[in-house]
Structure 1
Amino acid sequence: MNGTRDPKADFLTIYKDIRRPGADKLLAWLASTDFFTAPAGAKHHGAHAGGLVVHSLNVWSRLREITLRDTIDGKAILDLTPETNETVAILGLLHDVCKAGVYHAETKRRRNPETGVWEDYLGYMFRDPLPLGHGEKSLYQITRFMRLEDHEALAIRWHMGAYDAAAHTDLRDLSAAMDATPWVWRLHEADMCAAHIDERGTDE
């Protein structure tokens, strides 16, 4: 999905695959935030205006590929059912809604590597008004408006994999979640592919 001409329009088109009650209210809430203009992070991948929605689209695209790659009874899946398409849309598009409203544009200073001269540039500072955690916060924000299936909740909660702060002290819950449903490792793989392949070098 990198290089898409209108990420917001693409997001809204794919979002139509989410048909469960409350999806419209969730989308209205997203539109009331900076979700469609926010960066994906303060540094590294997607550290630019609009980076968050581009990242969400990239994760959706990767997750769809990964899901199609999986097999059932030894036969490759040729297409996804409407229910699976809905899950892929939910996980890909919404796993990082926790990042809305937390990256604030500020003027910073840095030394130009070519000239050695100090210069001002527009960067981002992370300040979270609701520090619930990463996957936990996305879960909270989504389920304020729309119900998730258990496998979707587990995938969003643990999509950071071993990078999740909770996994640093005890990997048992992460391992149990991955054992419970393949959607946990599918979403984590999609997230890593998007960040480290599709969006490599997209910081500003």
Structure 2
Amino acid sequence: MNNKEKFIQIYKENIQRPGADKFLEYLCSKHSDFFDAPASTRFHGNYKGGLVEHSLHVYECLKDYLARPRCHDEYKMEYSQETIAIVALLHDICKINVYKESTRNKKVNGQWVQVPYYEFDDKIPFGHGEKSVYILQSYFHLTREEAFAIRYHMGFSNEDPARNVGYSFEHYPLSFALSTADMEATYFLDRTEES
């Protein structure tokens, strides 16, 4: 089973709220490059299909994180399979249709050659997490905790004021869990291709 098939299977098995079917239809349409897009230009998942692969890694990491006894017993972090799938699989949908294939010059063995790379070209520069929330909310309802988790999944590595991130982590623990899963996937599971 390839990554697109895995994603669709997890999505269909877990995300049932009204409008979710229309969003999946959009993801699979010619209007979305979600299954072919990279996750970044130079860093994690900077290759065709990197975005869906990263999303699956975050899903696996979040499920593992939330399965810890401490999360249940001490932190009282109890989330439905639907919530877990929504925030993990869809946290980076802001990256749909923003990476364009291009070439650049690179010196290889003393010779300049053209190598492929991705340019970032966002036609809806609405921010990172907030853009994902904005897009999703046009298809189906997010709970407040889901919206905060997606909005602040970049944690303290984004340009947000630290007090906003801290507030989100303190009041919406799913934000912290998703941010942790995103970092784990980014730094330990996703690969980076040298161009």
Same fold (TM over 0.5): yes
- 2:28 corresponds in structure 1 to 31
AA partner of residue 54 (structure 1):
E
d(CA) in 2 for partners of 1:19, 1:8:
18
Structure 1: gaps (5+ residues): none
- 2:19 corresponds in structure 1 to 22
The answer to whether structure 1 residue 149 and structure 2 residue 143 are counterparts is: yes
Deviation readout 1:28-50 (Å, 9 max, x if unpaired)? 12122000000001111100000
AA partner of residue 179 (structure 2):
H
Structure 2: gaps (5+ residues): none
Q: TM-score, normalised by structure 1?
A: 0.88
The answer to whether structure 1 residue 60 and structure 2 residue 59 are counterparts is: yes
- 2:44 corresponds in structure 1 to 45
Worse-superposed segment, 33-42 or 65-74: 65-74
Contact 1:45 1:203 in 2 (8 A): no
Q: TM-score, normalised by structure 2?
A: 0.92
The answer to whether structure 1 residue 109 and structure 2 residue 105 are counterparts is: yes
Deviation readout 1:6-29 (Å, 9 max, x if unpaired)? 000000010020011110011112
Runs of 4+ in structure 1 over 3 Å off: 200-204
The answer to whether structure 1 residue 196 and structure 2 residue 171 are counterparts is: no
Identity %, equivalent residues: 41
Deviation readout 1:126-178 (Å, 9 max, x if unpaired)? 0100000000000000010010011100000000011222x2xx211111111
Tell me the SS of whatever aligns to 1:105.
Answer: strand
| 1:118-129 alignment, distance < 5 Å | 118-129=112-123
Paired residues, number:
191
Tell me the SS of whatever aligns to 1:42.
Answer: coil
AA partner of residue 147 (structure 1):
H
Deviation readout 1:37-80 (Å, 9 max, x if unpaired)? 00001111100000000000000000000010144336x99xx8
d(CA) in 1 for partners of 2:191, 2:101:
21
The Cα RMSD (Å) is: 1.9
